[in-house]
Amino acid sequence: MPLAGGTMPGKNSIVIKLVIVITLCSTLIFAVTLGYNYYRSRVILEKELENNARNLAMSLVYRVETELSAVTKVTEGVASSLETGRYTERELLSLIRTTVEKNPEIYGSTVAFEPYAFSAATRLYAPYYYYREKGKIAFSRLENSYKYVPYLYWDWYQIPRELGKPEWSEPYFDEGAGNILMSTYSVPFYGKSGTTKKLKGIVTADMSLDSLTKLVSSVKVLKTGYAALLSRNGMLLAHPLKDAVMNETFFSIAEARNDPSLRKLGKKMVRGESGFIHYKSLVGFSSWMYYAPIRSTGWTLAVVFPETELLENVRNLSMIMAAMGFAGLLLLITMVVYIASTITKPLRLLASATDEIASGNFDVELPTVRSKDEVGVLAHDFQIMMASLKEYIKNLTETTAVKERIQSELKMATDIQASLLPRLFPAFPDRPEFDIYASMDPAKEVGGDFYDFFFIDDTHLCFLIADVSGKGVPAALYMMVAKTLLKSEGQRLGEPDQILNCVNKFLAVDNDSCMFATVFCAILNTETGDVRFANAGHNPPLIVDSQGTRYLALKPGFVLGPMPDTVYEAERIILQPGDTLFLYTDGVTEAQNLEEELYGEPRLRDALQRAAKDDITEMIHCIRAEVTRHANGAPQSDDVTMVAIKYRGVDAK
Amino acid sequence: MHEMTMINTTQRNHKIWRELRWISVLFLLLLFCAVASPASAAETSLKKASLMPLWSPQAQFAGYYVALDRGIFARHGIDLEILKAGPGHSPAQALKNGTADFAVLWLTTALQYRSTGTKLVNLAQIIQRSSMMLISKKSSGIRTITDMNGKKVGMWGGDLSIPPHALFNQFNIKVREVPLTHTVNLFLRGGIDVTSAMWYNEYHTIINSGVDPEELNIFFLNNQGMNFPEDGIYAMEKTIHTDPALAKAFVSASLEGWRYAFAHPEEALDIVIRYMHEAHVPANRIHQKWMLDRMRDLIMPGNIQGTLGILKEQDYEAVGRAMRKDGLIRSYPDYHAFSRRYDAGEK
């Protein structure tokens, strides 16, 4: 049964194959789509982010610069008025005081003079007005309040002095003002002595950085992002790491974390570069940062966007898409399983039905498929096929029964036909003067060939061989008629030509089917060896005598049966004792092998020449074997019939 | 405490029961102290002493703070107070005035005071070599000491200017001296061409203000033949006469403190930073770590483990000669008169 296993879907099942292939392909397509979507979203987001970050940073830079420039302008104004005008001490003090009073962003201001620059009498002079707590303006003399190191050597004085240009100091904590973060803007001013400019002193304005750091710290960047402010030395001025503010520089943090890339970044910042980078923030998140310089102070402002938050939406979207995709995939698999099952279930049922049918059960119930798809068509065709098969098998059974009956009847006919021919050999054991032997092998169940031999009187043996046209039952029936007629007429008339003339007349009457027979009829005088014979279109027999083996030259004669007026002539030969007459039908000479080569008369003659001369039984068997060998298994269409008669003479007794 | 008990017993009055109660409380306290610190069991009273370092708390003085915090001084029988130091405080002056029993001084300072008649003695030489350096930016083109001729050089005032002065004299160059205070900003902004710096302090500050070592030219005075040993422990000769055991114990405790600090750097940093916070000094841990690491290099140069605190005679003589040559001192005392080795180095 080739359909074994059809009912049990294994790993080769269409359903499983479909599910695996579709799941893998869908997952792959979906994953690629999702990944690409995530990547593109990220890229777009980053691009957008850079702009946002730059805008945010620049707006902050602008606000810081605005606050700083208010202070720088005022301070520079004071310096230039000190250069152009002449001020008494009172006017100077009033100028400084007014500067502090009128400019709330200025926490304190001084005009610190070079040694003896204010007056030849005093070495150092630096009046200082500043806000004390509760908004009251206080006054002090810096030449006195700096006890250990004179003001001349402080950064706010020394750096602009040495550089000869205004400078913002590195931010510092002013303990006197209640520990607020300050930066001092210092502007050198000059006096003219002759043609050369000479430094007279430094004008300063202290600015509280509280508002600036508050401004920067208050910037909300998403939820956990932040803005930061760094000094020119990389000192953290405003940063969410409160402990690090004014205690750690970007570089000390880099050293503590042993992170050279952080140091490189810090260097870029303090060099006044700007940029947009992806890095791990000091707070410890993977972040995006835009940094830009505050030109007037050399500080750096940075805005930091935590990556996780930025990508939160994209990630959420991706997660939702992934969930949807997963659900979709499950649905898809379910559908695939369902559809595949609707296809394969009838197929499986059909397969098992086929098993049943194959085992011969045509009454098995076929699955009903309602769908009109290919499976439906298949099931329908299957139904028709089964019905046809059933019908065919039924017919076949009937036909076979009929055929079997005919077959058995034919077998019987064959038996009957065979029994009609003399088959008992030796046929005349009491007649030593001659031997006769014959054989007939019908090609079909019933043949059209026949032979016969009988005594007409005591010394005359009639023997004949015939071949009826056509095959099968009609030929057999015709043969029966012909044989019966030939025997009865042979016994009545005793002359071969007369026998044939007479039988021809009988057969020709009402011969509508135009059947005919070839007949060679001969009568042997057993005493003399004289043989008279007549031929009705039959193959010439062979004579085997002392001179060899040759075909008998005889008149052909017309076949028996179709024409009533045909006249046959008798001829005669004398057989010497030991001579053999060999009769045959065309089944011998026209035996074909697989190459459709005929056995042929020359071969037959040669075979007879070789064959045993004494024993005609042996001779016929030998020829039969030759013919069979020649045919070499090729089916034969004609009966093979042979008759051999050997005259031994009267003395053979 | 023992003294207090004596006073109480001499002032006998009627309130004996009350006194007895006091005594019993004190006795219990003593007992408790004896159990808590077995080392001081033999000596039940701590001697009060004071130390003034060169500067406000930082890792430069880690050994003393660690010894104080870990109770090492107490174990050596000293109830130590570390005095406030920094701007406006001169440890040498404090020794002279008697406000401090011990002080951390540079050898140069000590010799100057000694030459003006202040009888200081060196109890231990902590920093073995000069950690002072001159730094220029490579961009300034100053590649040798000679290149500094005529350039603006930032110099600290007082004793800290002695080594560079000696160096410039040796190279026979004149520089434009610009007084330096406590920041490196003048150098960073380009106000001076060369700055003085201590290896353990300003140098690191410059590096951590964003200047790479590769961008700097560095001149260690030590490498220029100016090996002036720096921080040492000093006391007045008088103090040692009065209580030689105290001086010995102080040095032992200090050196032990240093050893402990080097063996437990993180703990030492914690202690130092705590003292810094108490003194309201900004404390940057990585900077203090650098400082402590450099202290190890300066205090224990090479592999002479276990021999901390020795003032080598040849170093002493070299400094004395150089200072005399530069006219900073007229004479310097004999090494053995100046250096009292109370090292506990062999411990």
| Digit-coded pLDDT (tens) for A528-553 | 889 999 999 999 999 988 888 889 88
Question: Which pLDDT value is given to residue B77?
Answer: 93
Beta bridge partner(s), residue A301: A229, A292
pLDDT at A226 over 50: yes
Q: What letter would DSSP give residue A235?
A: B
Q: Which amino acid is at A176?
A: G
Full DSSP string of A85-146 = S---HHHHHHHHHHHHHH-TTEEEEEEEEPTTTS-SS-S---EEEEE-GGG-EEEEEHHHH-
Q: Chain B 193-232, CB below 8 Å of chain A: which residues?
A: 207-210, 212
Lowest mean pLDDT among A50-59, A455-464, A498-507, B10-19: B10-19
Q: How far apart are CA A523 and CA A542, in angstroms?
A: 16
% of chain A residues with pLDDT over 70 = 97
Q: What angle do helix axes B313-325 and B107-115 make, rounded to 10 degrees?
A: 60
pLDDT at B44 over 70: no
Mean pLDDT for A178-183 is 80
Rg of chain B, C-alpha, whole Å = 23
Same topology between domain B47-127+231-311+328-338 and domain B132-224: yes
Interface contact B287, partner A, CB < 8 A: yes
Question: Helix or strand or coil: residue A590?
Answer: coil
The CATH number that domain B47-127+231-311+328-338 falls under is 3.40.190.10
pLDDT at B10 over 50: no
B179–A153 CB contact, under 8 Å: yes
Q: How confident is the model at residue A176 (pLDDT cuts 50, 70, 90)?
A: low
Interface contact A124, partner B, CB < 8 A: no
The highest-confidence range among A155-164, A352-361, A483-492, A592-601, by mean pLDDT, is A155-164
Q: Which amino acid is at A377?
A: V
User: For chain A, where do the domains classified as CATH 3.60.40.10 start and end?
Assistant: 421-652
Identify which of B87, B182, B191 has the shortest CB distance to residue A162: B191
Identify which of A147, A233, A247 has the shortest CB distance to residue B284: A247
pLDDT at A46 over 80: yes
Q: What are the structural domain ranges in chain B? A: 2-40, 47-127+231-311+328-338, 132-224
Lowest mean pLDDT among A340-349, A614-623, B87-96: A340-349
Question: Which pLDDT value is given to residue B101?
Answer: 94
Question: Which pLDDT value is given to residue A184?
Answer: 93
The highest-confidence range among A34-43, A71-80, B305-314, by mean pLDDT, is A71-80
- pLDDT tens per residue across span A371-411: 777 878 888 888 888 888 888 888 888 999 998 888 888 77
Which two tokens mark A416? Answer: 């009957």
pLDDT at A228 over 70: yes
Full DSSP string of B199-264 = TTTHHHHHHTTT--GGGEEEEEGGGGT------EEEEEHHHHHH-HHHHHHHHHHHHHHHHHHHHS
| C-alpha distance from A148 to closest chain B C-alpha (Å) | 6
Interface contact A450, partner B, CB < 8 A: no
Higher-confidence residue: A519 or A175? A519
Question: Which pLDDT value is given to residue A49?
Answer: 87
The CATH number that domain B132-224 falls under is 3.40.190.10
Interface contact A259, partner B, CB < 8 A: no
Question: Which pLDDT value is given to residue A653?
Answer: 55
Full DSSP string of B151-172 = SEEEE-SGGGGHHHHHHHHHHT
Question: Which pLDDT value is given to residue A271?
Answer: 92
Q: How far apart are CA B116 and CA A443, in angstroms?
A: 159
Does ipTM come in above 0.90?
Answer: no
**CATH superfamily, region A421-652:** PPM-type phosphatase domain (3.60.40.10)
Identify which of B87, B180, B188 has the shortest CB distance to residue A233: B188
Question: Which pLDDT value is given to residue A12?
Answer: 64
Helix (H) or strand (E) holding A582: strand A580-584
Mutate which: B139, B212, B286, B293, vs A, most A CBs within 10 A = B286
The highest-confidence range among A146-160, A621-635, B97-111, by mean pLDDT, is B97-111
pLDDT at A608 over 90: no
The highest-confidence range among A192-196, A361-365, B95-99, by mean pLDDT, is B95-99
Residues 6+ apart with CB under 8 A from B26: B1, B4, B5
Residues 6+ apart with CB under 8 A from B249: B47, B76, B77, B78
Lowest mean pLDDT among A132-146, A246-260, B48-62, B143-157: A132-146
**Chain A residue nearest residue B176, CA to CA:** A162
- pLDDT tens per residue across span B46-86: 899 999 999 999 999 999 999 999 999 999 999 999 999 98
Computed over every residue of chain A, the mean pLDDT equals: 87
Residues from chain A that touch B287, judged by Cβ atoms under 8 A, are 252
- Cβ atoms of residues B233 and B104 within 8 Å: yes
Question: Helix or strand or coil: residue A542?
Answer: strand
| C-alpha distance from B162 to closest chain A C-alpha (Å) | 19
Helix (H) or strand (E) holding B268: helix B265-278
Residues 6+ apart with CB under 8 A from A570: A495, A496, A497, A532, A533, A534
Domain A86-208, classified CATH 3.30.450.20, yes or no: yes
pLDDT at B190 over 50: yes
Residues 6+ apart with CB under 8 A from A532: A495, A496, A522, A523, A570, A571, A572
